[in-house]
Amino acid sequence: MAPSVRVFDDGAWISVGGDRVVGVGELWRLENHSLCDCEDDLIVEGFDDADLVAREDRAGDSERDVVRARTLGRCLECGTQGFVGWVDVGRVADGSFARFDEPTVPEDDVLRR
C-alpha cells in the first residue's frame, strides 16, 4: 500500500506517510521551471499540492513511485516569485521515502508563463 502524500502546516511541508520530509526555506537549482530565465538557485517558499505519481526512471527502463509537489519559490537572482511547476522531490520504494539529491521539474509538468 502506498503511503499518503500531503501538504502540511499551510504549505510549509510535504508529508509522506505522516512524516514531514521536505520543507520551505531550502535552496533548489531547478532546470525547466517556469518562473524566470535566471540560472541561480530558487528558495522554496511553499507548497500548494503534493501527490504520488508513477514515472519512468531516467533510463526509461521501469516505473517508480515519485513524490512531486506544486512548488512556490523565489529566484535569488532577480527576485521573481511564483509557482515553478510540479517538482519531483523524491521517491517511495518498499514503503519508504528517499529524497532526490536534486529536485527536478519534469518536461511534461512544466507550467508555461
pLDDT interval class at 60 (50, 70, 90):
low
Instruction: Write out pLDDT tens, residues 98-113.
Output: 999 989 888 655 433 3
Q: 61 pLDDT exceeds 60?
A: no
Q: Detail the DSSP E strand segments found in 1-113.
A: 5-8, 13-16, 19-23, 27-28, 42-56, 63-75, 81-93, 96-104
Instruction: Write out pLDDT tens, residues 20-57.
Output: 999 999 999 988 788 898 888 999 999 999 999 987 76
- For the entire predicted model, the pTM comes to 0.85
Instruction: Write out pLDDT tens, residues 64-78.
Output: 799 999 999 999 999
